[in-house]
Chains A and B, each alone.
Chain A
Amino acid sequence: MSTPALRVENVSKMYRLGEVGTGSLSHDLNRAWARLRGRPDPYALVGAVNDRASEGTRDFVWALRDINFEVGQGDIVGIIGRNGAGKSTLLKLLSRVTAPTEGSIYINGRIASLLEVGTGFHPDLTGRENIFLNGAILGMSKQEIRSRFDEIVEFSGCAKYIDTPVKRYSSGMHVRLAFAVAAHLETDILIVDEVLAVGDAEFQQKCLGKMKDLSTKGHRTVLFVSHNMAAVRQLCPRSILMNQGTVVNSGETNAIIEQYMTLGSTAARIVTWPKEQAPGSEGVSLRGIYVKNHLGQTEGALGSDEDILVEVDYELDAPRGDLRVGISLFNSEGTLILISSDYEAGGSGAIRPEGRHSSTVRIPGHMLLDGKYTVGVGIETPRIQDFVSGETCAFEIDEMVHDGWGPKHAVRMPGVIHPSLEWTASQASE
């Protein structure tokens, strides 16, 4: 039995919404008064569940609510969830950047976080000086850093520039150096949040490899938060799925990722919103996503040989030009299969009048593998503003192909897509 490295018990975290202004002083005084009398925080009672889409009617929100889990020593655990699910808040609590509102966290051993690499790098100091400073900020002693200095420099691949101020570094070198310092930390538990968003593919693989090494050889515990499902799958045998500030499920990574991909979607391939709750901003609101078969039906099986229609239904409160409605298609492993936008319809620069609109894209048959898919919808003015992003609808393509005799089961193919390609076969002439 492995001993636990970390236990989180009934942890909740409340945030105050809106601006801190003149009202905050009177709230503080009320709270202090309540505490003096031994009463609970009067504002803690009114916290609402954290749901970004619906406008909060309350001033306080629970970013985390009754989180419980335990991680054993030497495990690598992935934490996944949509934006706003509470992942980063949880990591902040674990790394003691901020304290929980309720509950306790038990930690066995030294803990260090890699919430954002390069924390505390001073642009005017050289790489060498920053290694020491950054290491010390992360909790290493001078002695420890000195003994690992060569290793760190070698891992970063910045040996040539080690006596140059880091402000002259490229952003890639910056990240390499920073990750190198953190990866050589003498800690028992390492918290990693989205460090792989930067750096080239080769370095990303190096980082993943290093983290895996830390766990298997160094017997360290790693908590890894990422939106990169491929990285989570590669690194973490087990994962925790979070949604709206709670732990939805935990367990074997593949199953968790599959659940994540279909999170919040129903079996019917329709997602709609009433006007008041519709996601969106600035008078652009998403009213519905429909995944239809080639006959326009949203029920029944989708065959892998049929065209699939994705209809995005939205509403404009005022005329708008230069709008794009886009979709992104993910498979159940979280791999992005394709993105596309209604720019391809032509004339997207034209003003779209006030009122209801819909954009429909046809995904041809004989292209996707059977399996579960999630389609994400976004509405934006390119490079200027996102009005809607990350709203999803899930659907499943059955193992069916239709031939002249009716539907029949097909054999599941390996790979990501399975398009029908043109082949020629000929016998070589002698």
Chain B
Amino acid sequence: MTETDKIATGLPATQADVQWTRVIQPQRGLFSVPLAEIWAYRDLLLLLVRRDFVALYKQTVLGPIWFVIQPVMMTIVFTIVFGNIANISTDGVPHTVFYLAGITMWTFFADAFTKTSETFIINANIFGKVYFPRVIVPLSVVLSGLLKFAVQFTILVGFVAYFAATTEIVRPNWAVLLLPVLLLMMGTLGLSLGMIISALTTKYRDLRFLMQFGVQLLMYATPVIYPVSSLPEAYRVYILANPITPIVETFRYAFVGRGDFDPMHLAYSGGVILALLILATVIFNQVEKNFMDTV
């Protein structure tokens, strides 16, 4: 059957006399980002963030306190293992606040990355039934992460205030003003990497296994449990090539007073993140339309 059936009108209609509000075609431009559409779905974005938060606490006794327990426990373990047993340098900064600062920033990235990377697989059920801009889900994940960060950050501020009052070393400085920039960079990085992985996992599940330990390994390639200043010259260049390094170091410099703060390093990091964001957009656009056929 090649001729168009006029089911309802029974009258021939030509292309010209109708203003179509939407046209669905096989491919979309690689770089296009449906900003207007994302804006139209902003309520969904906020509701998803809310869902992530509310649903997490249902049927728990401690509720949001769990957000605090996790980094505190990690800090205690790190202090014992890396600080006291392995005796890794913390640049003279008290162990607790040094690790807590690193963990707080790192968790924000790691959460954004791992949760975004599962976007398609976890939401296959919803995505298979109804359309909305898919990028809403990863965005909501990063926003939820930001809220979680805010909770953990207040704990960090408490520790910083205590050590600033009791020691000579911990000295927050003007660089704290860079916090929004650091968060933007970290969030974008987690989002971009996560989107790339999620787009690829729709077809190749192998990446899921890689993700499971990849993120852990990545933490050791990031100055979370050690300062860049303590690195041997030979390794330093590799660790600095990691775009997360300048963000963590700047964050620590700002709040703890010690760290490798270099605007050039930060600019390099920003460049890498931008490139990854563009790559992520291209790959995500490729996959978004047809992923239901392969997931």
Q: Within the assembled complex, what's the spacing in Å between the Cα atoms of A66 and B41?
A: 33
Task: Flag if A104 contacts B129 (CB, 8 Å).
Answer: no
Q: Shortest beta-carbon distance, A110 to chain B, in Å? A: 8
Interface residues of B in 127-146 (CB under 8 A from A): 127-132
Task: Flag if A70 contacts B55 (CB, 8 Å).
Answer: no
Q: Is the CB of B167 closer than 8 A to any CB of chain A?
A: no
Q: Is the CB of B54 closer than 8 A to any CB of chain A?
A: yes
Q: Shortest beta-carbon distance, A244 to chain B, in Å? A: 12
Task: Name the segment of A119-127, A282-290, A309-317, A410-418 touching the other chain.
Answer: A119-127
List A contacts of B1 (CB < 8 A). 66, 68, 246-248
A interface residues with partner B (beta carbon < 8 Å): 1-4, 7, 9-10, 15-16, 20, 24-25, 28, 66, 68-72, 75, 77, 92-113, 115-116, 119-120, 122, 124-125, 129, 132-133, 136-142, 165, 238, 240, 246-248, 250-251
Q: Within the assembled complex, what's the spacing in Å between the Cα atoms of A133 and B7?
A: 35
What are some 30 contacts across the A-B interface (CB < 8 A)? Answer: A4-B18, A9-B4, A16-B294, A68-B4, A68-B5, A69-B7, A70-B5, A71-B8, A97-B127, A99-B27, A104-B23, A107-B21, A107-B22, A107-B24, A115-B128, A119-B129, A124-B58, A125-B51, A132-B47, A133-B47, A136-B41, A136-B43, A136-B48, A137-B44, A137-B126, A139-B44, A141-B43, A142-B43, A142-B47, A250-B5
Task: Flag if A138 contacts B55 (CB, 8 Å).
Answer: no
Give A191's nearest chain B residue, CB to CB. B130
Task: Flag if A108 contacts B18 (CB, 8 Å).
Answer: yes
Q: Is the CB of B19 closer than 8 A to any CB of chain A?
A: yes
Q: Is the CB of B290 closer than 8 A to any CB of chain A?
A: yes
Task: Flag if B129 contacts A133 (CB, 8 Å).
Answer: no
Q: Shortest beta-carbon distance, B203 to chain A, in Å? A: 6
Place the interface of chain B in its size category. 35 or more
Q: Within the assembled complex, what's the spacing in Å between the Cα atoms of A40 and B145?
A: 43
- Other than the given A4-B9, A136-B44, A139-B44, 6 more pairs (CB < 8 A) read A2-B9, A3-B18, A28-B203, A72-B7, A96-B131, A99-B289
Task: Flag if A136 contacts B47 (CB, 8 Å).
Answer: yes
Task: Flag if B23 contacts A98 (CB, 8 Å).
Answer: no
List A contacts of B291 (CB < 8 A). 98
Q: Within the assembled complex, what's the spacing in Å between the Cα atoms of A9 and B4?
A: 7
**B1-23 contact mask (Cβ, 8 Å, vs A): 1 or 0:** 11111111101010000111111
Task: Flag if B3 contacts A137 (CB, 8 Å).
Answer: no
Q: Shortest beta-carbon distance, B285 to chain A, in Å? A: 11
Q: Is the CB of B87 closer than 8 A to any CB of chain A?
A: no
Q: Is the CB of B32 closer than 8 A to any CB of chain A?
A: no
Q: Within the assembled complex, what's the spacing in Å between the Cα atoms of A214 and B20?
A: 21
Q: Within the assembled complex, what's the spacing in Å between the Cα atoms of A115 and B292?
A: 14
B interface residues with partner A (beta carbon < 8 Å): 1-9, 11, 13, 18-27, 40-41, 43-44, 46-48, 51, 54-55, 58-59, 125-132, 203-204, 289-294
Q: Which of B13, B24, B44 has the most CB of A within 10 A?
A: B24
Task: Flag if A247 contacts B5 (CB, 8 Å).
Answer: yes
Task: Flag if B7 contacts A71 (CB, 8 Å).
Answer: yes
Task: Flag if B132 contacts A139 (CB, 8 Å).
Answer: yes
Task: Flag if B41 contacts A69 (CB, 8 Å).
Answer: no
A100: contacting residue among B8, B24, B126, CB under 8 A = B24
Q: Within the assembled complex, what's the spacing in Å between the Cα atoms of A66 and B4?
A: 10
Given A77-B7, A136-B43, are A24 and B203 neighbors across the interface (CB < 8 Å)? yes
Q: Shortest beta-carbon distance, A136 to chain B, in Å? A: 4
Q: Within the assembled complex, what's the spacing in Å between the Cα atoms of A407 and B128?
A: 57
Task: Flag if B43 contacts A137 (CB, 8 Å).
Answer: no
Q: Within the assembled complex, what's the spacing in Å between the Cα atoms of A140 and B44?
A: 8
Given A3-B18, A113-B131, are A66 and B2 neighbors across the interface (CB < 8 Å)? yes
Task: Flag if A125 contacts B54 (CB, 8 Å).
Answer: yes
Given A101-B26, A250-B7, are A15 and B293 neighbors across the interface (CB < 8 Å)? yes
Q: Within the assembled complex, what's the spacing in Å between the Cα atoms of A71 and B2?
A: 16
Task: Flag if A115 contacts B129 (CB, 8 Å).
Answer: yes
Give B45's nearest chain A residue, CB to CB. A136
Q: Shortest beta-carbon distance, A13 to chain B, in Å? A: 9
List B contacts of A108 (CB < 8 A). 18-22
Q: Shortest beta-carbon distance, A88 to chain B, in Å? A: 11
Give A248's nearest chain B residue, CB to CB. B1
List B contacts of A100 (CB < 8 A). 24-26
Q: Shortest beta-carbon distance, A235 to chain B, in Å? A: 14
List B contacts of A240 (CB < 8 A). 5, 7
Q: Within the assembled complex, what's the spacing in Å between the Cα atoms of A16 and B20?
A: 31
Task: Flag if A99 contacts B26 (CB, 8 Å).
Answer: yes
Q: Within the assembled complex, what's the spacing in Å between the Cα atoms of A121 and B295?
A: 21
Q: Within the assembled complex, what's the spacing in Å between the Cα atoms of A55 and B8?
A: 37
List B contacts of A139 (CB < 8 A). 40-41, 44, 132
Given A4-B9, A250-B5, are A97 and B25 neighbors across the interface (CB < 8 Å)? no
